[in-house]
């Protein structure tokens, strides 16, 4: 298959591109820069110049391919609501090129969308269209495309990691380096799910090849790691203390991260593993965090 891949030189996208090419697929990667063109060429992929805000260009790229994997997202959390709406428009543009065909469109969301009850792992079957997290806009756009006959499925991400990046944990590490403490809130028993980037890339490939309309998959290798353990490993690795903060102290210390650090973001991938025969094989989040001081 020839696949139009957005975010093709990003943390996850570059791994997906390699995974697809190794499996015999062709990749047309969206990129904004000359360096991106070179990176894609080195992988054996073709470049499509543009960005996710040029909707006509997105349609053009998608229309020339047999399928789409959309991983590009603007992670500037200062403009999170606007960026989620931007993602919604990009999804609509990409999918509109496939109306009336069975060509697959794989979009990206967060496992937070599968949370039905606070403190319980998110599941693939659950989706609340009224979810307060702005990222719901991505799945709403996908649902609307499904209603219009597009073959859309969703890969929901946990904290995606290796020794260089770890999703939101990357920002927690940066704050720990800056402040000299590895903080957590209260007892720190809220849990975060996680997956190595290579395992996540393999999941995207399987989701593409399965082409199951309306499916939701969870990129979750570890269902839930207590945030206190994450903070303690960061502290040990950076040789700084792990410190419990009250809710009031945490709001001051964590800033924009406050909305996440006290929440339970655990997730199940039981259904995903059964449907796709996906078996994560890479090392876990805490093992990767123990190597961050080397970078």
Render pLDDT for 208-235 as a digit per residue (tens, 0 to 9).
999 899 999 999 999 999 999 999 999 9
pLDDT at 293 over 90: no
- Find the mean pLDDT for residues 8-35: 96
Whether 255 has a pLDDT exceeding 70, the answer reads: yes
Identify the pLDDT of residue 38: 96
186-202 tens-digit pLDDT: 999 999 999 999 999 99
pLDDT band at 295, cuts 50/70/90? low
**CB 242, CB 96: distance < 8 Å:** no
Nearest to 259 by CA among 82, 120, 134, 107: 134
pLDDT per residue as tens digits for the range 261-280: 999 999 999 999 999 999 99
Query: What's the confidence (pLDDT) of residue 266?
Result: 97
pLDDT (average), residues 109-133: 92
pLDDT score of 294: 63
22: which 2 tokens?
């190794």
> How confident is the prediction for the chain on average, in pLDDT?
95
pLDDT of residue 75: 84
pLDDT at 77: 77
Of 106, 147, 112, nearest to 127 by C-alpha is 112
Torsions phi, psi of 49, nearest 5? -75, 135
């Amino acid at each position: 298959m020839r696949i139009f891949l957005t975010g093709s030189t990003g943390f996850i996208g570059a791994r997906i591109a390699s995974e697809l090419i190794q499996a015999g697929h062709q990749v047309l990667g969206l990129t904004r820069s000359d360096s991106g063109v070179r990176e894609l060429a080195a992988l054996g992929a073709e470049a499509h110049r543009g960005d996710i805000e040029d909707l006509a260009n997105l349609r053009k790229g998608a229309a020339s391919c047999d399928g789409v994997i959309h991983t590009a997202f603007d992670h500037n959390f200062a403009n999170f609501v606007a960026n989620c709406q931007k993602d919604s428009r990009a999804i609509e543009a990409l999918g509109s090129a496939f109306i009336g065909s069975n060509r697959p469109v794989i979009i990206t969301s967060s496992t937070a969308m599968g949370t039905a009850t606070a403190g319980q792992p998110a599941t693939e079957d659950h989706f609340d269209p009224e979810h307060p997290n702005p990222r719901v806009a991505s799945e709403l756009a996908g649902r609307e495309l499904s209603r219009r006959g597009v073959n859309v499925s969703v890969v929901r991400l946990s904290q995606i990691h290796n020794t260089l990046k770890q999703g939101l944990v990357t920002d927690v590490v940066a704050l720990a380096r800056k402040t000299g403490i590895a903080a957590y809130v209260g007892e720190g028993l809220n849990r975060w799910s996680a997956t190595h980037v290579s395992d996540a890339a393999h999941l995207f490939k399987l989701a593409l090849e399965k082409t199951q309309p309306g499916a939701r998959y969870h990129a979750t290798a570890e269902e839930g790691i207590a945030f206190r353990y994450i903070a303690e490993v960061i502290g040990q690795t950076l040789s700084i203390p792990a410190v419990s903060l009250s809710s009031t102290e945490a709001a001051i210390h964590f800033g924009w991260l406050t909305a996440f650090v006290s929440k339970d973001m655990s997730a199940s991938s039981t259904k995903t593993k059964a449907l796709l025969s996906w078996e994560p094989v890479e090392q876990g989040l805490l093992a990767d965090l123990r190597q961050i001081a080397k970078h």
